[in-house]
Structure 1
Amino acid sequence: MFLSLSSTNGKGHQLIIVNNCNESIWPGILGGAGQQTPKDGGILLNSGQEVVVDVPEKWSGRIWGRQKCKFNANGKGSCATGDCSGLFHCQGLSGKPPATVVEMTLGTSTSPLHFYDVSLVDGFNLPVSMKPVGGGVGCGIASCEVDLNMCCPSALEVRVKGKVVGCKSACLAMQSAKYCCTGKYSNPNLQANNLCSSV
């Protein structure tokens, strides 16, 4: 999945979401606290398709890809990864891990500083890349373009019909303070190395 960001002359921003995968994906969208959720939080993109999503200035939120979804005519069903309570339109709900997430907080025409990243805190399901259109020297590409499902440790795998479709975070899979960086493990200077934090 590929996202690009462009400004629209003080009226907001456009997010262009492109499906570069070989299969259909259902991007989920969630506005941050107090923010609108465009497209009712869900869309379908077949392979090679793209959609333009308009968001206002100062918008913050997250976008993630859902895969292997089946929905009925009422928009109810399920997705193998990134599912949002079985709904086509996530309508203010976040996706169930594992899911590769693009997070962003956008600026304004007078203060055009944008913050964006690709997060694997919720695990991994699809390669993702995001770049600004027409950005300056300091505007880089945020991405995880490698299919981490190919090298996911077996203890973290999510499989559908024998195929790895997602890779859980160690925290989600192990449910342990050691892997969730909580409790005595919350200080990175004191945390002992473990296999998953070193990968």
Structure 2
Amino acid sequence: MAIPLLILVNAIITLVVSIAVTRGAAGGGNGIQLIMVNNCGESVWPGLLGTAGHPTPQSGGFHLGPGEEAAFEVAAGWSGRVWPRRGCKFDSRGRGSCATGDCGGVMRCGGAAGATPATVVEMTLGTPASAMHFYDVSLVDGFNLAVAMAPVGGGVGCGTAACGADVNVCCPSALEVRDREGRVAGCRSACRAMGGDRYCCTGAYGSPSTCRPSMFSHLFKAICPRAYSYAFDDATSLNRCRASRYLITFCPPQPS
């Protein structure tokens, strides 16, 4: 009997995570482990950026081929973001460009933010006032690849932050960003595409009571209900957890 594709993919990811956890444990660190898995059929170049006062891990970026994984530790209390870069070409010196998520034409972003559109994983892994971890997947800067973040082995009060669907498939033409081959590589947010306080939740619209989701935000939310669709989309998008390991999956498996 043939093994269902979803079961096979989940088994492969479980094996990859087990290997990553073993490697991370060998390091003997006391931080929080981030495990990144590329479940896509193409290469992904994760970009990383620590928020103000926090270091940027892995020099800000690296390459993950299809099926590859990487694991590293960040200190408790670390705050920052991770985003996928697609369609990248770099020379032997690590210089080049990406179709989406580019950070100044270098493989190692080194403190530079990624260009929009990009799907962003945001996290604050503890604060002076709280030991809880906060994390989300945000489409406020647009979308370029499906991403999910979840604790490994469960945790206290934990959930999954995700935009697991391919928003590019149904991206309105006014928001499309195309790669060198003419394929839709990203979908801009209304703020990035059209600007203005209303779409960007700034100025007179800079509060939860005055900034409401646009029709584009409603579209993003319908496709990815567990991701931020606009700046104040906290109720259904922000996750709270306390765990020692987190898995960030690019192109997460879809339920059958």
**TM-score, with length taken from structure 2:** 0.70
Task: Report the equivalent of 1:93.
Answer: 112
Mapped pair 1:27 → 2:21: no
What is the CA-CA distance between 1:196 and the residue it aligns to? 2.2
For residues 141-189 of structure 1, give each alpha carbon's deviation from its aligned partner in whole angstroms, at most 9, with x where no partner exists.
1100000000111000001222100000100000222211222333454
Deviation by residue 1:94-151 (Cα, 9 ceiling, x = unmatched): 100000010111139xx64111100111100000000011333510011000000001
Query: 1:187 & 1:36 partners in 2: Cα distance?
Result: 30
Question: Is residue 154 of structure 2 the alignment partner of residue 135 of structure 1?
Answer: yes
Amino acid at match of 1:140: G
Residue equivalent to 2:73: 54
- Equivalents in 2 of 1:137, 1:13: separation in Å? 15
Give the 3 Å change call, closer, same or farther, for CA 77–113 of structure 1 in structure 2: same
SS of structure 2 residue aligned to 1:14: strand
8 Å Cα contact 1:10-1:57 kept in structure 2:
no
Q: How does 1:26-45 map to 2 (within 5 A)?
A: 26-45=45-64
Q: Which has the higher helix share?
A: 2
Aligned to 2:241: none
Which residue of 197, 201, 205 maps to 1:177? 197
Instruction: Please provide the CA RMSD for this pair.
Output: 2.4
Over 3 Å counting, the alpha-carbon distance change for 1:34 and 1:191 in structure 2 is: closer
Aligned to 2:252: none
Change (3 A) 1:182 1:91: same
Which residue, 59, 71, 86 being the options, matches 1:67?
Answer: 86
Aligned pair count reads: 195
- Give the C-alpha shift of residue 195 in structure 1: 2.4
2:138 to 94, 119, 144: 119
Deviation at 1:39, TM superposition (A): 0.9
Code of the residue aligned with 1:46 in structure 2: it is G
For structure 1, the residue ranges without an aligned partner over 5 or more in a row are none
More strand by share: 1
Matched residue type, 1:84: C
CA contact (8 A) 1:41 1:89 kept: yes
Change (3 A) 1:191 1:11: closer
Q: Is the 8 A contact 2:149 2:160 kept in 1?
A: yes
